Amino acid sequence: MRPLIGLPCFATKRAGTLTPLYAIGQAYVHAIEDAGGVPVLLPALERPELVADLRGRLDGVLLPGGGDVEPVHYGERAIPETQPPDPGRDGLELALARQALDERLPVLGICRGIQLLNVVRGGTLVQDIRAQLPDGRKHDLGGRGRAIHQHSIEIKPGSRLSAILGELHHEVNSFHHQAVKRPGAGVEVVAWAADGVPEAMELADYPFALAVQFHPERSYQTDPAQARIFAEFVRACQVRAAQAAAHGARATVGAVG
């Protein structure tokens, strides 16, 4: 059985008619599907506490890229360079990430996902690299192409990421302006750009919790090493699903407790 992997959506509006929609980049969906998982799209619930009803129904969670996490969630005030907040998205993703960690589900974070996961663990963020890091280079390079590798990262030997990629240096794309500042509880930064900006982190003593600052969903079709990020994530979700099935722990959709 393919594992069910939750992907939170964000609120947006259809161009022209301004019809309210929930959306997520198709690249995330296809990356999970191609790796053997079943993507389950989760709308930005007006009542984030309803996430509790997903307990036992998912085998993993992917936290995707997107706008900035509101600084109030890590005890800071927004600086001018920080994007306007999206309270609905923050509420859903923070609740989903906390519950996933509480259930010890496999978690993969991408771009905003690494930042949000660090905040959930009590860490803080650099709100704007160019404004707050004197030696920080420009990392928002999306105008050059989303799938184009923009710079090299250095990876910590012995880390999960080094085992997945099979190397200690790798070329990645780059389109972000924020980054992990103070790592949260149990967070270990395991990759860096040349200017010292964190590019990946893992949670110690956790079955599978990996987050990257770059976007492998944009590169996996042409970069086998980055495709392995999704393959290993989905494999961990499959193990979780098998364990849940063996213990009769998978909840039935629509079941009443």
9 in active site: no
Separation of CA 39 from chain center: 14
| Three-state secondary structure string covering 43-79 | CCCCCHHHHHHHCCCCCEEEECCCCCCCHHHHCCCCC
215 in active site: yes
Residue with tokens 């980055």: 226
* Rounded CA separation 105/100 (Å): 5
Sign for the pseudo-dihedral over CA of 145, 146, 147, 153: positive
- Identify residue 41 by its one-letter amino acid code: L
Of the residues 139, 170, 177, 215, which is catalytic?
215
Of the residues 177, 217, 232, 237, which is catalytic?
217
Of the residues 103, 111, 202, 237, which is catalytic?
111
237 in active site: no
* Rounded CA separation 77/87 (Å): 15
| DSSP string for residues in 206-221 | -SSEEEESS-GGGTTT
Residue among 176, 242, 166 nearest 207 (CA)? 242
Known catalytic residues?
A: 111, 215, 217
